[in-house]
Amino acid sequence: MRLDEMIARIVAAKREQWGSGDGPLPPAGQRPRPAREGRFASALTQSDIAIIAEVKPRSPAKGDLWPVEKAVPLAKTYEANGARAISVLANEPFFGGSPDLVAQAARAVEIPVLYKDFVVDPREVELAHACGADGVLVVVRSVDDSELADIVATARGLGLDPLVEAFDEAEIERAVRVGATIIGINNRDLNTFTVDVDRAARLRSLIPDGVVSVAESGLRDRSDVERAAGDGFDSALIGETLLRSEDPGSALRSLTGVPARRRVAPGKHA
């Protein structure tokens, strides 16, 4: 199955879930954090290139990645070894996560937590807030322009930072139009799952100055992180490289050891 087909399948399931009124409820006993927009974004610009380390129990394409019962200790390991933020999968059918897992991680660590799912309804942003998340992922190709604007506005109204993810030039333009302050570029080709770092660098040049940029997918080692830093990315979201490591803490430390990031002018690359 191609990546775009997989995304369409996940999004269709999410729309059916929220359209039928069967969206998940907030975890029992969890209290929303006070509004503090900017905390997640700030964490991504406090180092040469910040690592967002991911907690993902499984992948539709790769199968099981990490036991869900060990997910919270993993989040603590990430925090102890240099992660600037943690991404937690909230989707159960396809990724083995849940809103409750997001809430558990938010209670367990002090660094910001990103609620990661294919969000298609503003009510899920409210759920992310109730889980104690600091940021929420919004995948541009999952929503139309009106939905994108509503989800971004809802997030900001609740004090969450929306990370708006794009795959191509047109999606970056859509993200910019709604005033996204954090834009992620997914490095994977929608047809083949392959990673093209040259394409990611070219797309990075389309992100305006002052907007936080995140490189997503396919970063495997220190050289990949250094390349992203040299291309002007503020942050890198890394999951499977850490999840498949025998020692995620050690793997994370090796990924964070990058030189000072060189700022580049839009349209130019190191």
Judge whether 56 counts as a catalytic residue: yes
Place of tokens 């040299």: 230
Active-site annotation holder among 14, 79, 116, 126: 116
Active-site annotation holder among 165, 171, 226, 240: 165
What is the C-alpha separation between 90 and 101, in angstroms, rounded? 7
Active-site annotation holder among 56, 79, 87, 226: 56
Judge whether 146 counts as a catalytic residue: no
Judge whether 165 counts as a catalytic residue: yes
CB burial readout 189-216, b (16+ within 10 A) else e? beeeeebeeeebbebbebbeeebbbbbb
Judge whether 14 counts as a catalytic residue: no
CB 128 within 8 A of CB 156: no
- Residues near 261 by beta carbon (within 8 Å), at least 6 away in sequence: 48, 49, 229, 230, 232, 233, 234
Six-digit token pair at 254?
A: 């090796």
- C-alpha distances in angstroms, 256 versus 81, 109, 146, 232, 250? 9, 19, 37, 16, 10
Using the 8-state DSSP alphabet, how is residue 191 labeled? T
**Collapsed DSSP state (helix, strand, coil) of residue 236:** strand
In sequence order, what are the beta bridge partners of 105? Answer: none
Active-site annotation holder among 79, 124, 171, 216: 216
What is the C-alpha separation between 149 and 128, in angstroms, rounded? 17
Judge whether 223 counts as a catalytic residue: no
Active-site annotation holder among 87, 98, 186, 213: 186
Active-site annotation holder among 81, 187, 217, 235: 217
What is the C-alpha separation between 232 and 54, in angstroms, rounded? 21
In sequence order, what are the beta bridge partners of 162? Answer: 136
| Residue 92: CB atoms within 10 Å | 17
Active-site annotation holder among 37, 54, 79, 126: 54
Strands, E, within 193-256: which ranges?
212-216, 235-238
Catalytic residues: 54, 56, 116, 165, 186, 216-217
